[in-house]
Amino acid sequence: MTNDSTSSNVVLQIDNLESYYGPIMAIRGVSLKVHEGQIVTVLGANGAGKTTLLKTISGVMDPEKGSVQMEGTPIHAMEPDDIVRRGIVHVPEGREIFPLMTVAENIAMGAYTRKDRGNIARDEEMVYSYFPVLKDRRAQRAGTLSGGQQQMLAIGRGLMSQPKLMLLDEPSLGLSPLLTQEIFEIIVRLNREQKVTMMLVEQNAKVALDAADYGYVMELGRIVMDDKAEVLAASKDIQEFYLGVSQDENQRGQRRWKQRKTWR
């Protein structure tokens, strides 16, 4: 099944993408779509190519072959800052905040491509409304924040560029289950309330599928499965290999799916 929707525009389209780390082909003929308003997740184990895919979309890496289009315009030959200006923001694995700068200075850095200076203060308040803990720590150095607070800061900084599409690389990495749930609840709220389309890569399949509309599964640089999130969550293969559910529990897991969708 392919991610086709008649109700929304295609924000991101990737066709037959190939990317290399040195002599190693990390992305092998990947094609996918992300529609406006969706949360799309890409699942896979370490080394599957998920991070390479996001780096290629955001211009950090150049593809060897294939195309990346943003709202019908090829972007795979653009510089990363030009891709940001077109509306794609990448929140990388490990957050990559500026540790010696304050929270407020990090947030301000997210608006570096903007020319509408008069609206920046308004958007800063919007960010703080989603992450009130950051507002309380505006003068604190970012490197002294907890891991969860740093993840919030990385997302908040990304929001300051007014993205149409936000790429999130392992947003739950290193976080407790409680903080992971909090982060994903905010991701869903931003998608619904601020109309930010989301594409996230995750090893935590359960939390990702709970939040997502559609999912792709990568293995060894290829897309090996894709479908609506609830269909993937009910799949025996996904249940066993990504959710840690036995065959005996698979049927019960399908019945519990609707109860898990508490964030929507």
Q: What is the pLDDT of residues 170-179, one digit of tens each?
A: 999 989 999 9
Whether 139 and 102 have beta carbons less than 8 Å apart is answered as yes
CA-based nearest residue to 147, from 76, 226, 93, 227: 93
> What strands, in cross-sheet order, belong to the sheet with 10-21?
24-35, 10-21, 65-70, 73-74
Answer whether CATH 3.40.50.300 is correct for domain 10-87+164-257. Answer: yes
Q: Tally the C-alpha atoms within 13 A of residue 183's C-alpha that lie toward its C-beta.
A: 28
Q: What is the DSSP letter of 144?
A: G
User: What local confidence, expressed as pLDDT, does residue 248 receive?
Assistant: 53
The encoded tokens of residue 141 equal 């150095």
The encoded tokens of residue 29 equal 């003929």
User: What local confidence, expressed as pLDDT, does residue 4 receive?
Assistant: 77
Cα separation, 86 vs 233, in Å, equals: 33
CA-based nearest residue to 163, from 151, 172, 155, 171: 155
Tracing tokens 């795979």 back to the chain, one arrives at 76
Beta strand ranges found along the chain (DSSP E)? 10-21, 24-35, 39-43, 65-70, 73-74, 88-91, 165-169, 197-202, 214-219, 222-228
Using 70 as the pLDDT threshold, list the residues of the chain that sit under it: 1, 5-7, 244-264
User: What local confidence, expressed as pLDDT, does residue 245 receive?
Assistant: 58
Cα separation, 212 vs 82, in Å, equals: 28
CA-based nearest residue to 71, from 160, 159, 164: 164
H-helix segments, 115-246: 120-130, 132-135, 147-159, 177-193, 205-211, 229-234, 236-241
Q: Tally the C-alpha atoms within 13 A of residue 135's C-alpha that lie toward its C-beta.
A: 11
User: What local confidence, expressed as pLDDT, does residue 257 receive?
Assistant: 45
Cα–Cα–Cα angle for 202, 197, 199, rounded to 5 degrees? 20
Q: Is 19 left (phi over 0), alpha (psi -120 to 50) or beta?
A: beta
Ranges of each domain in the chain: 10-87+164-257, 94-162
Q: What mean pLDDT, rounded, does the chain reach?
A: 91
Number of CB atoms found within 10 A of residue 116's CB: 10
User: What local confidence, expressed as pLDDT, does residue 162 receive?
Assistant: 95
